[in-house]
Copies of this chain bind each other. A is one copy, B any other.
Amino acid sequence: MVSISDVAHEAHVSKMTVSRVINHPEQVSPEIRKDVQRVISQLGYVQNRAGRALANNRHYNIAFILLDNVNEIEPYYAHLLMHLTDALREEGYTLEMRHDRNFDLTNVDGFLICGARHSDFTVLNNLPIPVVIYGTESGITSVDIDNQAGTLLATKLLISQHYQRLLFLGMDIDEPFATNREMGYRQAMREADREVEIYRLPNNEHIVQRFLQNDDLSANTGIIAATDRLGLGALRASRQQGLQVPDDIGIVGFDGIYIHQLAEQPLTTVQQPLKEIAGHMVQLLLAELSGKTVESVYVVPKLIHGETTK
């Protein structure tokens, strides 16, 4: 049986340091923590986390709760989960996966939640342990991208490239992120003193393609899409009508995770920086756990230039 002394010896640190890495990881520098954890797993030293948990009245386990419909927004989550798992491991915590509306407190110190909807917030507000959501809701610590800033960037890009008609393909759902993405377009159009033209559709490229087939997409049109799937539908409708992208039609999508690369022409898109978002979510949660008061964080997304703009 590998002992704590073996670990200390192999990692060239004191037994006290090893014990701190195990019982009070927050008191040890990330570098030393990583070294010691590497040795711990190399030697197969088995920490008794149950005992450690009882001793510290901490579980060292954070639940990640996924409430979205995986089929619709799938490409985020494998990436987001990897980044959250890394960020938590850095801090000596593990991530427990959940995906229903069961906010069971067993064995968790806090919740990281994606896809929460209006109807969830009463419950979330009353949970007795820290909660950080990916999204926006007053009264709940949240990390979100500045959706309005994202579509503002996208719209300004297409204006600067001199497309005459500038239409917005939005989502037909009543959620803050959808509203904010539309607001960014409205703001840019107002500032440029241009007429808005807005369509709200299901987030499905096939539906968008059929919808735009009935629209005579005259050349020199710029399309700001609220998601990459909407942008993908716009790209296909344009090509089907024999229009050149980006010469005749300019398209900017939103999200920049996976789908934009799969398009026939890689989409120019507003990208959500998932690693940065995951890092903020973990830092905010751990700050709340240590009793600090925290502010919600908004991350400004970046434009990724593909082949659908000039």
Contacts from A to B (Cβ < 8 Å) = 37-38, 40-41, 44, 46-47, 49-51, 53-54, 59, 61, 64, 66, 70-71, 74-79, 81-82, 84-86, 89, 94-100, 102-107, 128, 205, 229, 232, 236, 258-259, 262, 264
Are the CB atoms of B94 and A44 closer together than 8 Å? Answer: no
Q: Give chain B residues whose Cβ lies under 8 Å from the Cβ of A95.
A: 96-97
**Nearest CB in chain B to that of A73: its residue:** B78
Complex Cα gap A53–B61 (Å): 14
Complex Cα gap A47–B50 (Å): 13
User: Shortest Cβ distance from A85 into chain B, in angstroms?
Assistant: 5
Are the CB atoms of B107 and A258 closer together than 8 Å? Answer: no
Complex Cα gap A84–B74 (Å): 16
User: Shortest Cβ distance from A52 into chain B, in angstroms?
Assistant: 9
Are the CB atoms of B78 and A70 closer together than 8 Å? Answer: yes
Supply 17 A–B pairs (Cβ within 8 Å), ascending by A. A40-B104, A49-B106, A50-B59, A74-B74, A74-B78, A74-B79, A74-B258, A76-B78, A81-B81, A81-B99, A85-B98, A85-B99, A89-B98, A94-B97, A96-B97, A229-B262, A236-B264
Are the CB atoms of B50 and A104 closer together than 8 Å? Answer: no
Are the CB atoms of B99 and A82 closer together than 8 Å? Answer: yes
Q: Give chain B residues whose Cβ lies under 8 Å from the Cβ of A53.
A: 50
Query: Taking A59-B50, A262-B232 as contacts, is the C-beta distance between A64 and B97 under 8 angstroms?
Result: yes
Q: Which residue from B49, B59, B74, B104 sits with its C-beta under 8 Å from A41? A: B104
Query: Taking A78-B70, A94-B107, A105-B46 as contacts, is the C-beta distance between A262 and B259 under 8 angstroms?
Result: yes
Are the CB atoms of B106 and A46 closer together than 8 Å? Answer: yes
Q: Give chain B residues whose Cβ lies under 8 Å from the Cβ of A94.
A: 96-98, 107
Sample of 8 further A-B pairs with CB below 8 A, known A61-B96, A66-B78, A259-B262: A40-B104, A70-B79, A70-B82, A74-B74, A74-B79, A78-B78, A94-B96, A229-B262
